[in-house]
Structure formats: structure tokens, C-alpha cells
Structure 1
Amino acid sequence: MTSPSQQPEVATQAGAVRGIWRDGSAAFLGIPFAEPPVGEHRFQAPVPHRPWEGVRPAVEQGATPQRKALAEVTLIPEPSVPGESTLNVNVFTPNPAKADDGGLPVLVWIHGGGYVAGSPASPWYDGAAFNRDGVVTVSVSYRLGFDGFGWIEDAPRNRGVLDWLLALEWVRDNIAAFGGDPSRVTISGQSAGGGAVLTLLGSPRAQPLFNRVISLSGPPTNVTLAASEALGRKLAELGGVAPTVAGLSTLTEAEVLALQAQVSSVGNDGGGGGDPVAGLAAMLGEGLTLGPVIDGELIPLPTSEALAAGIGADKELILGTTDNEFNMVLAGAGEALAAVPAAAVLGAVGAAPAVVEAYIAAHPGLDTATLVGQYVTDHMFRAPALNLAELRSSVPAPTWLYRFAWDSPTVGSACHCLDVPFMFDVLGGERIVPLAGPNPPQVLADEVHGSAVAFIATGDPGWPAWDDADRAVRVYDLPTTVVADGYADTRALLPERVG
């Protein structure tokens, strides 16, 4: 036990760490959970960090796998920190000592960034507000892009997923020393991080490591092993090496990142050669190509099939999206597309004729660019969220569906990433004004953050769970409401059920 006048110290299984006190809580930054993924550990499964002697300072952010932030992927401030020891956790706790009642509930946050970018060092991911409300918070890093997810002939698949699992095992084994309860762990993330927690929900190996899930704007995993192998072989061919650990290890990190940008659907023009519609077609068709892969083992099935099969059926789940996630993708093309029928553009980006007709009917009065932008949002985020809720409607653990519908006064819509500072209750933080305006509503943060705290602590966020009859959806707006079938306008995009 440490008094607030001293720097807090905690003994982990690998050694003692010294953090810093803030107002009402303590922060332990950059604690390594794995050996640096370089040298013999590059392209391999993560290895638990070796023990150290003495007390290790944990007062600065650790090195991040992200080497260069991609501004087009996230509006969140996510700094890159140089260094080789990139597999770390940050722990924020109101009391770094085990409580008499067994400890506080725990939130583990996995950042987004299209699986090729993002950083746990974001000031938006600081756990101070959760600590204030009695939740220990952990943010984790993981290998990104090709290092984390690229196919290599003789290397483990899904190395980034293995990083998540080892980080969760670290939480299981160490979080009690920080005042947390390892039997009450909620995993959460946004965008690719939301997809990450859905992936873990559908992974049998991950089941003992968490109890609840909150997925913000999470794309379900559906990348096939064949598609991953094709991308991996292409990258190796472009690099002039064999698609093996030995071959790819001859390339520097910078060289792999440059090649990755040529083959990935994130970080380039999406394959459209400058044509925004062709780029959208490629992006919608390929998805997040450098991300979790259905390998038949660690990830046995696509997310939708895994949840339909009952994997994760005992885990409570909150999922949802912002109303206009990626609507901005055609923001500059309104005039150019004004004379082009929406049906023609939807067909060009891959929508089937029957879907085109039904979708246009569900969105009357929109110009072509606006309608197609909404289609991108619905195809990638909103319809998959509805689909997963419906697939889980009969499992033992309930599912709650929400929408974040408040329009930013600066962006003009409820865009991608807008909900994150409300979730963490950091409306006074860095880079909030460009995204949410100078006076974002604190009452809305109280609602969003408060629902998360209630769910993490009790398993009930405070509105009716999804069922096939009422289809209740919490709509975060001014005011916040609960509506019936709040995703009805995306139903034309749902897969047809068989049987």
C-alpha cells in the first residue's frame, strides 16, 4: 500500500513498477507485457517479458507499433513513440492495492486505426474518468499492419491477435495487484479496436479472459486465409524476397511499411487510381485486408458465423455505431455526382440490383453523394451491427444496440470517432474542438460514459436489451432516447437468412 505523497509501486509477476499519482488515481505507463518483437521475435508469437530486477519506472508512454499516424484513418490524437519494445500496457487505477471486496471491475481498451495505425498513447484513452467512477482501465498495444497480420509461409498467423491474448493474460495475472478484479473484465475498442473485441468474442481461445464486450463501430472479421496469403505473397514479390520469415526478415521495418502501403486497402487510394467510385468499390469489396484472418484455429469462423454458432454466447455485449461513420468519403464529389443516378453509383460499388432499389426507397430525398456516403457507412458498420444483434437474439447473454446520433457542429454529422471522447468523458481534451466544436454537450458524455460504467460494473447499461419483438435501440443525442428498430433503414443490406 502506498500513500498519495509517494509514487505508487506495484509488484507485477515480472517485477515491480513505479507509476505516478494524478488527481484521484494513479497511472502506470508503458509496462511491457512481451519481449520486443524484433530480431528472433520478429514475425513470431509474442513471448512474455522476462523478469527485471529492482523497480521499473512506468511514468512515460512506451514505444508504439505505429511509426506514422494516418490522418485519414482516425481523427483521434494518437502519437507515435519510437523504440523497439512496442508491446506494452498502460494501467490507470484509483487504488493500486487489492480491495477487500476482491477488486474493482476492469476495462481493457484496444485502439483502432484500421489495424495499420493507432496508438494506446492517445490522451483520449486516459482512464481518469473511469477511475473516478470505480473502474480500473488498461490500454494495450499490438503489432500493426503486416507485422501483426500479414501472411508469412512459416510464421504464426494472426500475430496481432496473439498480442491481444497475451495482453489479456497479463491482465488476468497482474490486475489484482493494481486493485482490479480479474474475474470482471470488459474488453472494448473503437473502429478496428471494436472489430478486435468482436473477433475475440468469436474466438474460443479468448473466452476465459473476459466477461463483457463493448464494441464501438466495430467491423466484423471476414478476411479469408486465401486472401491473406495472396496479399502476403504479393508483398514479398514486390520486395524481391521469399514469403518466409527468413526472406522477409531481410527487409527493414521501413521497407515493409512502404510495401504494405502498396498492397493494403488502408493507407492508399483503395485501388481506385484516383477515381473515388472505383476506390470505394475496392474498399467495400476488400475490407480491412491487413487485419484478423479466419485461420480455422485461433479464429475458426467469420465473426457473424461464430456468433451464430454460439461462440461467446455467455458474454454480455453492447455494440453500435455513429449514424454517419464514413459519409464523408464523397464529401467533395457532390457536384461531380449531381447528375449521376444514385442507382448507377451504388451498382458500381458492388450493390446488387434488389439491394439498390430497397436502399434508395429507404433513403428518400438524398442526393447521390450523400446517399452513397450513407451506404458506405451502413455497409461497413451499421448493417453489420444490426446483423450481429439479431444473430445473438436467442443466446443466454443479452445484447444491447445503440446509435450515436449527435451531429458535430464542426463536421456537420455524427462521424467516425466522434463518440470516443464522450465514452472516455474527455471533452476538455486535446483536439476535441475540431471534431466536436467548442462546447460539446457534457450531458451527452454523462449518458455515454455513464452507460459504459454501469455495464462494466453490473452488466446492465440502463436500456432494454435487444430482442426480436421490441428491437430497442438507445439513441445518444440531445435528448437521449430509446427507439424501436432504430436500424430499420439498413435492413435491406442484411444477408438473407436460410432456414
Structure 2
Amino acid sequence: MTDSTLDRPEVTTTAGRVRGRWRDASAAFLGIPFAEPPVGELRFAAPVPHRPWEEVLDAGEHGATPQRTALAEITLIPEPSYPGESTLNVDVFTPRPGDADAKLPVLVYVHGGGYVAGSPASPWYDGAAFNRDGIVTVSVSYRLGFDGFGWIEDAPANRGVLDWILALEWVRDNIASFGGDPAQVTIAGQSAGGGAVLTLLTVPRAAHLFQRVYSISATTASVTREDAERYGRALAAAAGVEPTRAGLSTLTEERILALQGEDDAVASPDAPADPLAPLRALASGSALRWAPVVDGDLVSAPIGAAVADGVGADKALVLGATDNEFNLAAADMRETLADADPAALLTAIGVSEEAAGAYAAAHPDLDTAGTLGQFVTDTMFRAPARAIAESRAAGGAPAWAYRFAWTSPTFGTAVHRLDVPFFFDCLHSERVGYIAGEQPPASLADDVHGAAVRFIATGDPGWPAYTAPERDVQVFDVPTTVVRDGLADVGALQSAR
């Protein structure tokens, strides 16, 4: 196929026709707006479905992104930023554009970035490999940081969550035109995106919009209504405006982005410098200030509590993490902490003396910085994943747990985001070599991506579900194996927090 106008694929959506572009055996439709631009009166409002257009919309290039500055050096994933006001878009990748009878299963992917960064336009999120395997793929954008999650006196809470829901409603109403089946939708995401799909799992308003959840390295942290208000009032006060839509709308986007990243906008200016503060915040779950808010309405409870109460039990769930997600969090302090007692430092970041001693004793091969970093990994990612799997098992709901244990040859550990190019089977994509080395194992991509394909298509990833007493866990490595009680090492961590 050529890329001329006549040979480019066109599809009709509820708002008008869109024109994508062919790439080998599939087509990409990029930057399709599912909502009106969140500017002016809509800046801090709930998202509004995009009005119809008359001419064919060119969807051959990525649309504007909520992220304004690319952060690849921090996130490790190339996630480009594009300017513009119409930032609420979907990218659709499909092998069967225009074939409403194809009824292919659908993957909807939510990017990570701590709810303040990230972009759906990453080449890693291209759905080509999933298209090859008969799956329509959609990557969605959402408002980030304060714009998406900050408390404002007279604005709806959880605007970013509302963006996710409206994007899923767009998928429900339009994906058949791209060859997808709206009754076979799996939502997936990594890091904050993993937290996003777990949040959606617990939001009744979203329940009818998807059937399965694949959560990768999810942060399960949420913000209380009280903390959200405190953060929002502090940001407005730092800017010298009222904490209202009118007051905050006088601030430029650049000013709010600067304020939301300043620690002293929400912390006491008299607080002494504390080198362990970042680790304490990460381990306690308080590091994410701009994140889904437990508002008692749209989001009625924290993720763990909602799952324990059986919310979302009708949805099949896969979840897991890399073995060493945030071990690098303390790496810069390795020399400084070389002679320090790891148990004492764990106590200093809020762990009970008994639990700190037990944790340090259980990791004799790690130095002090390594012990602190592994503790952050375990408390932020691995222990919450196990707790959710336990809750699901206790309630008889389907759940499958995994670990990604393969070690990056460049970082020396199974770092945060290392598994993403294996999930998308894009090992030859931009920047993959930086995180996974120049020759990442294709067999591991076959295992990770293949499990995702099976789950999206059938609801079963191909290894035993997590049930007592076996508590089987898939360990993605070379070779991949199933390990009985494969998350036992983090089973006692809940009491350490």
C-alpha cells in the first residue's frame, strides 16, 4: 500500500471520518480526539465528547499531548511531547480498519509516568505486534498532574479518571469500525497506568466498559480527600490566587506545572532537609500528590480496600511487577550509606524495629542502599500486588500473578519499566537497548507478549491462577517458570508499613 490520500485507510466514527496510514500489515489512526480540548471554560471541567467534524480528519500523525516536556531520561521510555490544545486523544492500531464484522479483541493501554508525565505517543506503545496477533490496540491520553487530579473548590474531582472513562466510552462506541469488538476489551497499563486500570476496576461507573484487566507494576497509591484539598489549597496559596476555577484559570499552564513540582508548595517551609525523605515518601505511598483521589463518589475507596470488598470481582485480572522496580531509588546514596546499619535506616523511614530487623536479615546479600531500594520496591509494588491477589483468591475471583525477574544487562537488576518492550514485543524499537541491552532475549518477549495475547483473547494468560494453597506465580525469565508461592518473600510486609 502507498501512503497517498487515495490509498490511506478511512474509518467513520461517531464524530466524523478519520484517515489513518498503512504500516505493513496494519493501520495506525493517530491523534483522534475523543474530547473537546480542555482549555478555557473546559480547563478544569469534566471532559466533554468532541463535537462532530465535517471534513475527513487526518489521523496520520500523533496529536497534542498533555505532557509538555519529554522525560525519557527519567522514565526510561521514549515518550515524546507534542504541542497543542487538543490533548485528549486516542491512537488506534488495527489490522482490519473498516471491518465491523471482524470483532477482534481489543487492548486499551494507559501510559504511566507518576500521573504527572508520560505520553501515549511512545513508539513502544505502537500496537503493531498485537495487530500481528489479531488484537486491535488503543493508546489513550489523559490530563496529568494538577490539571488531572488536583483539588479545586468548585471543580469535579478526578478529572483524569473521567478522561479515562470517556476514552473507554469512545472505544465502546467506535471500536467496531476499526475491526474491534466492544464486548472484548482489556484495559492495561504500567506504573501509574497500572494503577489507573486497577482504579478503573474499582469504579462502578466504568464497569460496563471493559471485561479484563492487565496491571503492570502498578502503583496502588491514592490520595485522601483531605490531603487532596490540602495540596490544592497550598498550590493556590503559593500562586497567590483563590483555589477556584476562576482563580486558578488566571495561571498559565507553565506556572501550574512549576508549582506542582515544588515540594515547598505543599510542605512546611520550616521542615529541615532530610535525605531520607524521598525514600520515606515512596515507601509510605505519599510520594504521589497528584493521583486518583478517594472522593467518596467516583472513587469510593482505595484500590486494596475496594478489591478486598469484592469490587470488580467479575473481571479477570493479571497483575505483577519486576523484581527490583525501584531499587535504584537509593543508588545515589550507596557510598554515603556504606557503613550504615540497614535496619536502623529502615526504622528511620518509618518501619517498626522488629520488622526492620527481620527485613534486613532476610536480605543479607544486599548492601544498605540495596536493602532500602528493595524495601521501596517491595512496599510500593510487590507486596500490594500479592495482597490484591490474596484478596481475589479469598473471594474466588479469577486472578493471575507474575514476576518479571530477568536482569537488565545495563542496570544489573530487573528495573522499573524493563518489561514494557517485552509486553509490546518491540525489542528493536527506539531506546530499548538502553534499558534491555543490545540483544534482549526474543524468547522472553515471546513469553511475556504471548501471555498478554492469550489473556486479551481468552481471559487466561496460560499459567495457573493464584489460589490457595499453591499461590502459583509466573516468573518471566530465561527460562520462564511457574513458582509455587512465588511472592512469599513479601507476604509479611504489610505489617512493616
TM-score greater than 0.5 by the shorter chain: yes
Contact 2:186/2:214 (8 A) holds in 1: yes
Unaligned 5+ runs, structure 2: none
What letter corresponds to residue 467 of structure 1 in structure 2?
Answer: T
Aligned CA distance change for structure 1 residues 265 and 388 (closer, same or farther; 3 Å)? farther
Provide the secondary structure at the position in 2 that maps to 1:298: coil
Aligned CA distance change for structure 1 residues 225 and 439 (closer, same or farther; 3 Å)? same
Question: How far apart are residue 222 of structure 1 and its match?
Answer: 2.9
Task: State the distance in 2 between where 1:410 and 1:3 align.
Answer: 38
Contact 2:30/2:60 (8 A) holds in 1: yes
What letter corresponds to residue 303 of structure 1 in structure 2?
Answer: I
Question: How far apart are residue 273 of structure 1 and its match?
Answer: 7.4
Counterparts in 2 of 1:136-285, with a 5 A limit?
A: 136-263=136-263, 275-285=274-284
Task: State the distance in 2 between where 1:387 and 1:173 align.
Answer: 35
What letter corresponds to residue 386 of structure 2 in structure 1?
Answer: L
Task: State the distance in 2 between where 1:8 and 1:174 align.
Answer: 16
Provide the secondary structure at the position in 1 that maps to 2:319: strand
- 1:109-161 C-alpha deviation (Å, 9 max, x unpaired): 00000000000000000000000000000000000000000000000000000
Deviates more, 1:179-188 or 1:355-364: 355-364
Task: State the distance in 2 between where 1:278 and 1:248 align.
Answer: 29
Contact 2:3/2:21 (8 A) holds in 1: no
Task: State the distance in 2 between where 1:215 and 1:451 align.
Answer: 13
Kindly report the root-mean-square deviation, in angstroms, between the aligned alpha carbons of the 2 structures. 2.0
Provide the secondary structure at the position in 2 that maps to 1:47: coil
Which residue does the alignment assign to 1:22? 23
Task: State the distance in 2 between where 1:62 and 1:368 align.
Answer: 45
Task: State the distance in 1 between where 2:273 and 2:107 align.
Answer: 41
Task: State the distance in 1 between where 2:119 and 2:183 align.
Answer: 27
Question: How far apart are residue 264 of structure 1 and its match?
Answer: 9.0
What letter corresponds to residue 353 of structure 1 in structure 2?
Answer: E
Task: State the distance in 2 between where 1:3 and 1:421 align.
Answer: 27
Say whether residues 1:435 and 2:401 are aligned partners. no
What letter corresponds to residue 461 of structure 1 in structure 2?
Answer: P
Task: State the distance in 2 between where 1:306 and 1:94 align.
Answer: 37
Counterparts in 2 of 1:219-368, with a 5 A limit?
A: 219-263=219-263, 275-285=274-284, 286-368=286-368
Provide the secondary structure at the position in 2 that maps to 1:337: coil
Say whether residues 1:80 and 2:60 are aligned partners. no
Which residue does the alignment assign to 1:89? 90
- 1:251-299 C-alpha deviation (Å, 9 max, x unpaired): 0101111111114999x9xx99775322211333313110100000100
Aligned CA distance change for structure 1 residues 197 and 435 (closer, same or farther; 3 Å)? same
Task: State the distance in 2 between where 1:186 and 1:242 align.
Answer: 41
Task: State the distance in 2 between where 1:468 and 1:296 align.
Answer: 32
Say whether residues 1:378 and 2:378 are aligned partners. yes
Question: How far apart are residue 353 of structure 1 and its match?
Answer: 2.0
Contact 1:316/1:399 (8 A) holds in 2: yes
Contact 2:347/2:356 (8 A) holds in 1: yes
What letter corresponds to residue 22 of structure 2 in structure 1?
Answer: W
Task: State the distance in 2 between where 1:20 and 1:115 align.
Answer: 30
What letter corresponds to residue 66 of structure 2 in structure 1?
Answer: P
Contact 1:264/1:290 (8 A) holds in 2: no
Which residue does the alignment assign to 2:478? 478
What letter corresponds to residue 281 of structure 1 in structure 2?
Answer: R
- 1:402-450 C-alpha deviation (Å, 9 max, x unpaired): 0000001111110000000000000000001111111000000000000
Question: How far apart are residue 324 of structure 1 and its match?
Answer: 0.4
Deviates more, 1:463-472 or 1:356-365: 356-365
- 1:163-204 C-alpha deviation (Å, 9 max, x unpaired): 000000000000000000000000000000000000000111
What letter corresponds to residue 382 of structure 1 in structure 2?
Answer: R
TM-score by length of 2: 0.96
Task: State the distance in 1 between where 2:443 and 2:193 align.
Answer: 26
Provide the secondary structure at the position in 1 that maps to 2:492: helix
Aligned CA distance change for structure 1 residues 86 and 276 (closer, same or farther; 3 Å)? same
Unaligned 5+ runs, structure 1: none
Provide the secondary structure at the position in 2 that maps to 1:392: helix
Provide the secondary structure at the position in 2 that maps to 1:124: helix
Question: How far apart are residue 228 of structure 1 and its match?
Answer: 0.6
Task: State the distance in 1 between where 2:373 and 2:272 align.
Answer: 19
* Count of paired positions: 491
Question: How far apart are residue 332 of structure 1 and its match?
Answer: 2.5
Contact 1:264/1:289 (8 A) holds in 2: no
In percent, how many aligned pairs have the same letter?
65
Which residue does the alignment assign to 1:66? 67
Contact 2:39/2:85 (8 A) holds in 1: yes
